[in-house]
Amino acid sequence: MKKHDRLPRLCLVSSSGGHWEQLQKLQPLVEKYDGFFVTEKTQFAEPKAKYFLLQTDLKDKWMPFKMAWNSLQTIFIWMCERPDFVITTGTMVAYPFYLLSILFKKKFIFIETFGRANMPTVAGKKMEKHTDLFIVQWETQKRFYRKAIYGGCLY
């Protein structure tokens, strides 16, 4: 099969918690196309995820080291899976995938979190520049992002 004859390969990546809950609503895309999920490793079992990265946030003193480790793992995942699209609801765990999508000229789709109706997120502001599609779940979020389109809520 030629590359252009195959189904698009989807990488759906997000941090744990609410971002992960929202991203899982896109399971029909994984079933329709060729896709896989990536999230953070937590104490809770996540049977839909194929890959797990270290959990971190901006307040974590070990964040630079965890991000370096996650970046190396992301490169390994990228080489194994070769995604055509990266879809994320955020946040830091998605950043290495965002950078690789730019480097390899793959489509990047950002879905702003449902939990921020009246303010932008740091991830949204940082990643909007290179998104191919930037979806917000609240009409009120459109005013914070120049590329945003309203797509309704995932819930």
Q: What is the pLDDT along the chain (155 residues), one digit of tens a residue?
A: 565 678 999 999 999 999 999 999 999 999 999 999 999 999 988 899 999 999 988 889 999 999 999 999 999 999 999 999 999 998 899 999 999 999 999 999 999 999 888 899 999 999 999 999 999 999 999 999 999 999 998 87
Structural domain including 120 reads 3-22+49-150
Tokens of residue 44, six digits: 């809770």
Residue 103 placed within a domain: yes
C-alpha span between 23 and 15 (Å, rounded): 9
CB 81 within 8 A of CB 74: no
CB 53 within 8 A of CB 93: yes
| CATH classification at residue 75 | 3.40.50.2000
Q: How many domains does the chain have?
A: 1
CB atoms within 10 A of CB 24: 18
State pTM to two decimals.
0.92
The H or E element spanning position 11 is strand 9-14
Residue 98 placed within a domain: yes
